[in-house]
Amino acid sequence: MDTCATPRNLPPLAGLCSFAEASRSGLAVEECVRRLKRHHYAFKRLHQIFTSRLTAEPLYELKMAFSLHAHLCAEHATALRARIGEMREPPLGLDTVPDTALEILFDEIIASTTTDELLLSLYEIAVPALEASLEKHLAETNPLADQPSVRLCKFALLELDEMCTYGARAIAAIVTPERRERSASWLSLLEDCLAAAGGLDGTETSSGKAAARQYSTKPYKYDGVPRRDARFPDPYNMGVNAEAFLYDETMPARAKTLMMFYKRLREIDVPEMMASIIAETPGKPWGYYRDMTRQLWDEARHAMMGEVGFAAAGVDWPREVMVNFTWSLALNTQLTPIERHAVLYFIEQGLMPKTGKRHEWEVGQASGNPLSALFQDYDWADEVLHARVGRDWYVKAIGDPKKAADYGDECWSRVLMDWNKHLEEGLTKHRNWWPDCYRSACRHWGIEPDPKVLAYATTYQNVRADLKNVSASA
């Protein structure tokens, strides 16, 4: 019905759609908001699941993917909250469960007992159901009248598709046919939940069958003990003090880049710890969870920067670098959520002076290693953002910047990472892995190892004194 000619055949309606498409009835505001609320609920619950399950997930790649996917879900939930608020909806009611069957669906997924079940339920059931719901919204809403919602749906679908692609590859790599078969009845239960809810968007006829609980008959409890896969064979190892080496002016900048790659890879423990703060701190404004999840994802990115740095330097890090989890283990098991946040903030403040992130960037610049310089440049920028997140949420909660810093110092002083006890109990020998790592990089670089660098053997034993002004992880 495109009867209105445009000059020189210019695209009509700002290029959004044709007159025919804009003339269809589409969704009324009330129905649009009803569906958006269900989309929002799904993103919010997915965010909760990805965040809550990453600490105890042993596989490094899945920890990193869950960190990213939690961040993406938080961003889309934030966008949907803003859109709903534009549509005659105060009070928004965004903390209301839209359907009991959907609540059971996500409760079951977060309580799933194996990595296989978690992957299958997320990437073959929940995320595809959300994709289908958003695609249906696009197909049925008016593309002109509801353009702001259309835009949000399109962007969300791009990243949900990436999530599904990753999930399919992860499932193909991990889940055997036999293990899939063992999960079949529970996966059918999840499909029953969706059917009882009339689909994720509630537009289908409900099956009328009551959704049942299996794993979620007991409320899910967050597991804050970090777990690592076989590539982390010595997670209690504190035999190398990266900070002391980095600040030793007699050591060459090129060798220091390896220690910075180690510091970055070691940041795997920051998402493990931050997930505990997010999971165990209820009742905050949504902006808190969004900002904290962004920081969690940034720290995961930093860990992967270290991984890439070692790969580029020819270092087989699982064999030649002992990455510990003592920081996240100690904070998660010894402190309350607000105390963990206090320690995080206190450490981050030590990264801001010239002796902190600027120094690491300057070392990267001086090393002649452009990758190290680039990674430290972005790491520094991220930490400035994280300091702002700390001020916005932690400092305001305490009420005074000095009290906030002092409380973080006091909490940090109570954290026990017992070097000698770990040694005495046989958990580690605190092996000095540094010489092997450095030799591998030198072979790759085509240079002879520097004897004074090889001889470096300062341990991590006096951990708090060494790290008072320099981060243990962040």
Same domain, 148 and 269: no
DSSP class of 256: H
Given 217, 250, 274, the domain boundary residue is 217
Q: In whole angstroms, what is the distance from residue 191 CA to residue 209 CA?
A: 11
Token representation of residue 434: 């540094």
* 122 vs 463: CA distance, rounded Å: 39
Query: Do 457 and 424 share a structural domain?
Result: yes
Distances (CA, A) of 313 to 19, 189, 254, 261, 454: 58, 48, 11, 10, 17
- Across the range 320-328, mean pLDDT stands at 96
Burial class from Cβ neighbours inside 10 Å (0-12, 13-18, 19+) for residue 399 reads: exposed
384 and 255 inside one domain: yes
Q: Which amino acid is at 83?
A: R
**Is the domain of 211 the same as that of 258?**
no
Whether the Cβ atoms of residue 293 and residue 74 lie closer than 8 Å to each other: yes
Residue 278 in any domain: the answer is: yes
Number of other CB atoms surrounding residue 322 within 10 Å: 25
Rounded Cα distance, 276 and 296, in Å: 11
With a pLDDT cut of 90, the percent of the chain lying above it is 86
Cβ 355 vs Cβ 247: under 8 Å: yes
How many other β-carbons are positioned within 10 Å of the β-carbon of residue 17?
A: 18
Mark whether 198 and 273 lie in a shared domain. no
- DSSP assignment string, 445-459: HT-PPPHHHHT----
14 Rama sector, left if φ>0, alpha if ψ -120 to 50, beta otherwise? left
Structure tokens at 397: 């909660």
Q: pLDDT class for 460, splitting at 50, 70, 90?
A: low
Q: What span, in angstroms and rounded, lies between the C-alpha atoms of 387 and 393?
A: 10
What would the pLDDT profile of 85-130 be if each residue is shown by its tens digit? Answer: 999 877 788 999 999 999 999 999 999 999 999 999 999 999 999 9
Render pLDDT for 176-222 as a digit per residue (tens, 0 to 9): 999 999 999 999 999 999 999 999 999 999 888 888 999 999 999 99
The CATH number of whichever domain residue 189 belongs to comes to 1.20.1260.10
> CA–CA separation, 60 vs 229, rounded Å?
7
By the 8 A CB rule, do 165 and 69 touch? no
From residue 14, alpha-carbon distances to 19, 68, 144, 146, 183 in Å are 11, 34, 10, 14, 49
Q: Would you put residue 113 in left (φ > 0), alpha (ψ -120 to 50) or beta?
A: alpha
How many CB atoms are located within 10 Å of the residue 417 CB? 21
Answer yes or no: is 234 within a domain: no
Omega into 12 within 30° of 0, i.e. cis? no
**Is 177 strand, coil or helix?**
helix
Residue 464 has pLDDT above 50, yes or no: no
Establish if 8 belongs to a structural domain.
no
> pLDDT tens digit string along 361-404?
999 999 999 999 999 999 999 999 999 999 999 999 999 999 99
Query: What tokens were used for 444?
Result: 């790759």
Measure the CA–CA gap between 28 and 25, rounded to whole angstroms: 8
d(CA 332, CA 32): 41
What pLDDT score does 1 carry?
47
Structural element, H or E, at residue 396: helix 396-398
For the entire predicted model, the pTM comes to 0.94
Is 460 a member of any domain? yes
Domain end point (choices 155, 184, 217) = 217
What are the pLDDT digits (tens) for 214-251? 999 999 999 999 999 999 999 999 999 998 899 999 99
| Average pLDDT of span 285-313 | 98
Q: Is residue 10 part of a domain?
A: no
Which residue do the tokens 């569906």 mark? Answer: 35
Q: Is residue 233 domain-resident?
A: no
pLDDT tens, 130-149? 999 999 999 999 999 999 99
Tokens standing for residue 256: 């220091």
Q: Evaluate if residue 354 carries a pLDDT over 70.
A: no
Q: Are residues 299 and 377 in the same domain?
A: yes
Q: Residue 360 is part of which domain span?
A: 242-467
Q: Say whether both 49 and 179 belong to one domain.
A: yes
Q: Are residues 316 and 443 located together in one domain of the fold?
A: yes
Shared-domain flag, residues 462 and 324 = yes
Q: Tell me whether residue 47 is in a domain.
A: yes
On whether both 133 and 248 belong to a single domain, the answer is: no
Domains in the chain, number: 2
**pLDDT confidence tier of residue 5, bands split at 50, 70 and 90:** low
What percent of the chain shows pLDDT beyond 70? 94
Instruction: Give, in order, the Cα–Cα distances in Å from 352 to each of 16, 105, 327, 385, 388.
Output: 46, 44, 20, 11, 11
Q: Do 259 and 212 share a structural domain? A: no
Q: At 437, which amino acid appears?
A: C
Instruction: Name every residue whose Cβ is closer than 8 Å to that of residue 98 and which is 6 or more positions away in sequence.
Output: 34, 37, 38, 41, 202
| Within-domain flag for 11 | no
Cis (ω within 30 of 0) for the bond into 91? Answer: yes
CA 68 → CA 12, 145, 231, distances in Å? Answer: 38, 32, 21
Nearest partner of 17 among 132, 137, 118, 144, judged by Cα: 144
CATH number at residue 401: 1.20.910
Same domain, 246 and 111: no
Q: At what angle do helices 326-334 and 269-279 cross, to 10 degrees?
A: 20
Q: Taking 90 as the threshold, does the pLDDT of residue 436 lie above it? A: yes
DSSP letter for each residue of 93-111: -TTS-S-HHHHHHHHHHHT
Residues shown for the chain: 474
